[in-house]
Amino acid sequence: MKQHRLAAAVALVGLVLAGCDSQTKELTLETPAQKASYGIGLNMGKSLAQEGMDDLDSNAVAQGIEDAIGKKEQRLKDEELIEAFAFLQKRAEERMVTLNEESAKAGKKFLEDNAKRDGVTTTASGLQYEVVKKADGAQPKATDVVTVHYEGKLTDGSVFDSSVERGSPIDLPVNGVIPGWVEGLQLMHVGEKYKLYIPSELAYGEQSPTPAIPANSVLVFDLELIAIKDTATQE
């Protein structure tokens, strides 16, 4: 039978239960293997719950593992299993579409309200920014490499990336980052600090690079332009 990615996830949860009958043996978490097994099951359970799989039957998972290890006849035909996996996958995809739509609506509402605040400027592209600290330094071009300090957050304030937390600014090409940064950096002067409010279409849209950034998220960056690198000297 063609294995579905959901089947692999369920199987991994089941492995935690292998070797013990949860109905007849009391669970013990004493040895490193037992603790690691519990951790695997816990992490997988959380992951599946986030994907809308919170109604999976752990006893049925354990039974499937037990039947496979004991080389017993499987209780469901392959066709039934394929149909069940397809149902769960479709449900997960529908749930993801709904979450993406809700995130997009919430982001649009946030930007609409934010644009009304004093000190917030909205550009033609939809990028919003505040000047936190003014300076009279040079402005970078798209072809420049700049040194910056930054902290990226979601609209709820949760931090997903921060050079400030790492304690080290970074060098990056202006035209090598997300569109909202490309535009925002070229508005800044060396020495200035901006707060950027970046619409999802100027960030990652539906293709988020990390689970820490949900699809269609508006990103908020505290950004400091420290320097424009002398590329001739670097070469």
Q: Which of 85, 150, 194, 197 is catalytic?
A: 150
Displacement of CA 80 from its chain's centroid (Å): 33
Q: Which of 85, 129, 221, 228 is catalytic?
A: 221
Is 230 among the residues known to form the active site?
A: no
Q: Which of 204, 213, 222, 228 is catalytic?
A: 204
CB 215 within 8 A of CB 150: no
Q: Which of 38, 82, 110, 161 is catalytic?
A: 161
Is 221 among the residues known to form the active site?
A: yes
Displacement of CA 230 from its chain's centroid (Å): 34
In total, the chain counts a number of residues equal to 235
Q: What is the DSSP letter of 196?
A: E
> For the chain, what percentages of helix, strand and coil (3-state, to nearest 5) are there?
45, 20, 40
CA pseudo-torsion sign 207, 211, 215, 218: negative
Is 178 among the residues known to form the active site?
A: yes
Is 110 among the residues known to form the active site?
A: no
Taking only Cα atoms into account, the Rg of the chain, rounded to an integer number of angstroms, comes to 25
Token reading at 139: 């402005």
Residue-wise burial string across 141-162, b where 16 or more C-beta atoms lie within 10 A, e elsewhere = eeebbbebbbbbbbbeeeebbe
- Distance, in Å, from the CA atom of 194 to the CA atom of 126, rounded to the nearest integer, reads 16
Is 204 among the residues known to form the active site?
A: yes
Is 129 among the residues known to form the active site?
A: no
Q: Which of 40, 82, 178, 226 is catalytic?
A: 178
Active-site residue list: 150, 160-161, 178, 204, 221
